[in-house]
Structure formats: structure tokens, C-alpha cells
Amino acid sequence: MDAALSGLLVGLLAAGPAFAQQPPLRLLPRALPAAAAPSLTVVVVPLDAAARTQVPRLTYLAEQAAAGTGRFEVVRLADALEADAARAREEKAAQAATAFAEGQKAYDELDTQKALQQFDAAVQAYEASDLSRHFTDMSRARVMKIASHVANGDNKAAAREISDVLARNPQAEFSPNYFPADERNLVEKTRKSVLAQADKTLEVKTQPVMAQVFLDGQFQGSSPVKLSGLSRADHFITLVAPGYAQEQQRVSGAEVAFTLQPTVHAPRLRELVERIEDGPESKGRDEALKALGTLAGTQQVLALLIRGTPGAGAQDAMVLRLETRDGHNLGYAAGPVTASGEAMEAGVQSLLANVLTGDAPRNGSKPVNHFSAGAPSANRRTAGYVLLATGAALLAGGIYFGLEASSKSDQFKETPQTSARGEALKSDGKTFALIADLGVLAGLASAGAGAWLAFSEGGGGGQKAAPASRPPEPPAEAAPTEAPAPAPEPGVAPPEKAVEPAPEKLSPKKRAEEERRAREEAAKQERQAREEATKQERRNREEAAKKEREREEAERREREDAERREREEAERRKRQEEEQRKREEAERRKREEERKKRPALDEDDLRNY
């Protein structure tokens, strides 16, 4: 019994420190994973050129808002469209986590050599993962690698690693559980030195599209961006753009340019985004979002449609959360937000919160949609107003020519039939009557088509829209006030007035042609900029290769000089040894000769002695 109790006591004493390192027990009930969180991807669609520069930042903002609710499994659209590469990066992160756990186990068992190897393997694996997500994990692995150096007594290696870690992550924590007071003092001294010398700048550019820029795991905005206040060390840059392969490099210098490579899904993504841009308040918008959700492989799509204006001012924003399966709008909000800055982010955050906090119920078993009921899209509305104005002008011209035809008829009745003027009045009356009929018919058709385009639903088949981001348009009867066309004064040439608004009828096609030319011009400029960036990058590589060759040549010369000095030193030592050997040999021979010269003692001498 005494032996059993003693063994139990020893076991408890040995297990006490291990239990102390375990996290405390959770006595509160935890939520059971009855149903997995729905997967969701985020897409931001700019509705004009002024909003395009805000897309990467707003995408990051929407992704963070969705992840912050804890209700969704947020799948980054760029990762969903590059599934194999994203899966490989996550596998590297999983390998790193396993190596870190093995290193922690070895460290706890006082096998610090094995712990050092495992932590170093974790750092290498994390560098090949997505550092926009796992940079903090990599820093933690490097801190534990430093702790292993300290435990092994390798203070020089620990000091180098401390400086390298703090140069990229000045907020890295060094726990007193692993670092003695002297090492923590060195950490704080190095941290202050790094922060005091943080005067480096770095400009990041990308082609052919803008991208989210992450520096050492921290989001820094959209490219091109110029970063300042950096430490004088190499930094990890991660670039994310939907439809393009993720770029991640360890960079130095003051400027770096990247050429992003499109993925196989890039054309399809561009096509769907253009469909949404063309009909942001139509049924086609939801169809395109459903196709986008299917392409990304997610159950829901969170879409942010935004229209900006140059400079300060208000812009329209629409947030929509849609179910990929049948297009049911789980959330919808719209409203004006400021064009830029913190106020814009606050306005967008408010709209996102309204859409992400709860799910809208269905209309029985039918999905609810928010198409444009009474608020057509901007292009549709503009074309409608043009046709309305044209119809009003044609109606006015028809009425005028009708009055002229009636006047010519009265004059013809009062004119003698044999008069030449009577024939002229008859001919003019018929012409004016024909023009009046054509003008009235064309005016009615144009006004009807314009009213349908300007004030019809536009998307068809959807539920009544929620409050739109813009105030409702005026009713149909107010439309003619935009382009009033009263009957002209007699004597004014009516044909010119009847065809005056005609060029506006082609404005949608003209606008599409102008947009196409603008896109081609922008693409041409982008190609030129890309070629220039490629040339500059090639020059930088050649310069770097030249410097590398010069450095290697200098190192080779230094090695040759060192080897020559070693050979000379070896020859000098060899000569000294040879001279020493010769001196010793000469002294030995001298002693032998002296011994031979001394007379030998015979027995009589010994007796006498």
C-alpha cells in the first residue's frame, strides 16, 4: 500500500506541470455543429470608371465584414477561381502546422535539437503558403525556432533571428516561458532599434489589373500603392486579384512591378461582371450572380454594386446577398455613400450589416428578387427620355404640318381652279398632309417606346424592389417637360425642327461605341505600360544579374587570395619546421662528435678514481 501511494504521488507531481500548460476546461456548453456554415464569396462590381479604383479595398472590406459575423464560410473569389493553387497553398499551411506541433512536443520533452529542425521546417512550409493568411503563424514558428536556439546555447544565431523577425513583425511576442530576462532585454533593444530606423519606402505596381496588396500579411490597399515607414529589411508581398494567379515574393528595393497572369476562368468572370454592369437593376443581374456562384462553387454570393463620381460627392451603392441555387435574395440594401475615405467605408459597412445579419423569408415557396420595379437602369432610362423627346418633337411637327395643310386647303378652296396658284396650293397641301400624318405616327411610336423604356420595370418577373439607391423618376406625364415641343410660329422652317433631336436616337449605340473605343484605348495604354514594365523588369534583372556576377567575382577573388595566403602560410610553416629539423640534426651530430672526441676511461683510471 505504501509503495502504491508513493507511486501515485510521484505520478501526480510529474503530471502537474503538463496539466498546467493545458488550456482551462470549458464548462459552458458549446454550440454543436448541427449544420455547417454556408459558403459565401464576395464580388464588387463598379458601375462606372470612378468606382473601379475602389474595387480591391471594398472587396477586402466586404470579406472582412462577412467573416466577422461568424455565419459564413467566406471563400475568396480569387482562390475559388484558382482552386488547385489555393489547395496547394493550404496543404503547405497544414504541413507547417503539423511540423510546428511536432516541434512544440519535442521542445516540451527537452529535445531542443529536434525542436529546432521541426520549427525550421514549419517556417519553410509557411513561406510557401498564403502569407496573407498565415504570416502570423510563420512569425510564431520563427519565435519558437529562436527559443530552440537559446535552449541550445547558440546565442549568435538567436540574435540574428530576433533581428530578422522584428524587422518584418515588430509586434512579435517573446514569452518569458521560453526566453530568459537577458534575451527579452535584447528583444526590446532590437525592437526599438528597428522602429527607430523604419524609414524605407516601397512602391508596388501591378499589370494588367489592380490587386489587393498585402505586406507581411497586412492589407495595405490596392495597387499601385506607395508604402512608407518600413524597416530596412526584405518584406513579403502578396497580391490577390480575382481571375488572376496569386503572386507572392520576398522583395527588396524601393520599387517593384508585377505582371499578373490570368487564370482559365478570367474570361468567364469578366463576361459575368460586364452583364451585371449592363443591367445592375435587371433580372440579368441575378442570373449573372447565380452563374458566378456556380463558377466559384459557393452556396451564396455577396455582391456590392457601386457607382462613383470624380472627386468628392455622393455615390450609389447596392448590396445584395443571393442564394446560388435559385437566386433568392437573402438580403438587399441600397443607398448613397460618400465617394471615398472613412465615411465611404462606414456607409458601406452599414449596408453590409443590414444584408449579412439576417435572411429574408421567401414568398411562400418562390424566391424573392429585387429587380427594378419602377426604376429602370440608367442606360435604359436615358434612351427612354431621348425617345420621349423625339416623339414630342415629331408630334409637334405633325400638328404644325397638319395646320399648314388645313390652311393650304382653305386657300385652295378660295382660289379659282384655273389659276396656277391653285395647283401649287394643292400640291403643297398634299405634301404637308403627308408629312403631318408621318410625323404624328412616328411621334406616337417614339413616345410610346420611350415611355416603356423610361418607366417600365426593366427586369420583368421580379418582386417589388426595395427602396432604390436613387430617388424615383418623375411620372410619365412629367416626361415631356424635359423636352417641350410647342407648335412653332408660322414661317419657321418646320422640317429642321422635326429632325433636330434625331441624332440623340443613336446615343445608346454611340455610347457603346465610345465605351468600346475607350476600352481599346485603355487596353492599348495598359499594353504599353505592361511592355514598359516588362522592359524595366528585364533591365532590373540584368542589373541584378550583373551585380550578382560582380559579387561572385569578388567572392572568388577573395577565396583565391585566402587560399594563396593559406598556401604561403603553410609553406612558411613547412620551411620553419625544416629549418628547425636541420638545427636539431646539426646539434645531434655535434653532440655525437664531442662524445667521440672525449677519451675513454679504462679500468686503471676507475680504480685510481
**Cis-peptide into 208, omega within 30 deg:** yes
Of 24-38, 256-270, 455-469, the poorest mean pLDDT is in: 455-469
C-alpha cell at 382: 436615358
What pLDDT, on the 0 to 100 scale, is given for residue 105? 93
Query: What is the band of 590 on the pLDDT scale with cuts at 50, 70, 90?
Result: confident
Contacts of 114 by beta carbon, 8 Å cutoff, 6+ apart: 103, 106
Distance CA 169, CA 139 (A): 7
Of 93-102, 167-176, 333-342, 373-382, the poorest mean pLDDT is in: 373-382
What pLDDT, on the 0 to 100 scale, is given for residue 488? 42
What pLDDT, on the 0 to 100 scale, is given for residue 470? 40
Query: What is the band of 349 on the pLDDT scale with cuts at 50, 70, 90?
Result: confident
Give a three-class secondary structure readout of 38-60.
CEEEEEEEECCHHHHCCHHHHHH
Nearest to 308 by CA among 469, 420, 187, 419: 469
Q: Tens of pLDDT along 190-223?
A: 999 888 888 889 999 999 999 999 999 999 989 9
Q: Which region holds residue 206: left if phi is over 0, alpha if psi is between -120 and 50, else beta?
A: beta
Give all strands of the β-sheet with 200-207 in edge-to-edge order.
225-230, 200-207, 255-259
Distances (CA, A) of 328 to 84, 304, 323: 30, 16, 5
Instruction: Pick the most confident of 292-306, 517-531, 554-568.
Output: 292-306
Is 173 a residue whose pLDDT tops 80?
A: yes
Return the SS3 of 360.
coil
What pLDDT, on the 0 to 100 scale, is given for residue 2? 55
What pLDDT, on the 0 to 100 scale, is given for residue 561? 87
Q: Regarding predicted confidence, which is higher, 67 or 515?
A: 67
Query: What is the band of 62 on the pLDDT scale with cuts at 50, 70, 90?
Result: very high
Query: What is the band of 608 on the pLDDT scale with cuts at 50, 70, 90?
Result: low
- 540 contacts 259 by C-beta, under 8 angstroms: no
- What letters, b where the CB count within 10 A reaches 16 and e where it falls short, cover 537-566? eeeeeeeeeeeeeeeeeeeeeeeeeeeeee
What pLDDT, on the 0 to 100 scale, is given for residue 378? 57
- What is the chain's length? 609
Distances (CA, A) of 206 to 236, 307, 534: 15, 24, 11
Residues 466-490: what's their mean pLDDT? 40
Distances (CA, A) of 407 to 410, 429, 498: 5, 8, 19
Query: What is the band of 101 on the pLDDT scale with cuts at 50, 70, 90?
Result: very high
What pLDDT, on the 0 to 100 scale, is given for residue 469? 39
Is 467 a residue whose pLDDT tops 70?
A: no
Q: What sign does the dihedral 298-299-304-305 (CA atoms) show?
A: positive
HSE (side-chain half, CA atoms, 13 Å) at 530: 13
Q: Regarding predicted confidence, which is higher, 24 or 349?
A: 349
C-alpha cell at 96: 507547417
Q: What share of the chain is helix, strand, coil (3-state, %, to 5)?
A: 60, 15, 25
Of 94-103, 310-319, 400-409, the poorest mean pLDDT is in: 310-319
Is 603 a residue whose pLDDT tops 80?
A: no
Residues 394-422: what's their mean pLDDT? 78
Flag whether the pTM goes above 0.85: no
Is 49 a residue whose pLDDT tops 60?
A: yes
Is 352 a residue whose pLDDT tops 50?
A: yes
Q: Tens of pLDDT along 485-511?
A: 444 444 444 444 433 444 444 455 566
Residues 572-600: what's their mean pLDDT? 84
Residues 161-168: what's their mean pLDDT? 88
- 349 contacts 337 by C-beta, under 8 angstroms: no
Is 607 a residue whose pLDDT tops 90?
A: no
Return the SS3 of 371.
coil
Q: What sign does the dihedral 549-553-555-559 (CA atoms) show?
A: positive
HSE (side-chain half, CA atoms, 13 Å) at 385: 17
Distance CA 397, CA 501 (A): 12
Return the SS3 of 297.
coil
Q: What is the DSSP letter of 323?
A: E
Is 134 a residue whose pLDDT tops 80?
A: yes
- 331 contacts 350 by C-beta, under 8 angstroms: no
Return the SS3 of 368.
coil
Distance CA 61, CA 114 (A): 42
What pLDDT, on the 0 to 100 scale, is given for residue 338? 74
Q: What is the DSSP letter of 504?
A: G
Nearest to 317 by CA among 333, 302, 329: 333
Residues 166-174: what's their mean pLDDT? 89
What pLDDT, on the 0 to 100 scale, is given for residue 54? 85
For the chain, the distance separating the N- and C-terminal CA atoms, rounded to the nearest angstrom, is 90
What pLDDT, on the 0 to 100 scale, is given for residue 264? 92
In terms of DSSP bridges, do strands 300-307 and 39-46 run parallel, antiparallel, or are they unpaired? parallel
Residues 570-588: what's their mean pLDDT? 88
Q: Tens of pLDDT along 527-573?
A: 777 788 788 888 888 888 888 888 888 888 888 888 888 888 888 88
Distances (CA, A) of 296 to 2, 29, 43, 78, 517: 67, 35, 11, 9, 31
What would you measure as the largest C-alpha separation in the chain, in angstroms? Answer: 197
What pLDDT, on the 0 to 100 scale, is given for residue 509? 59
Is 241 a residue whose pLDDT tops 90?
A: yes
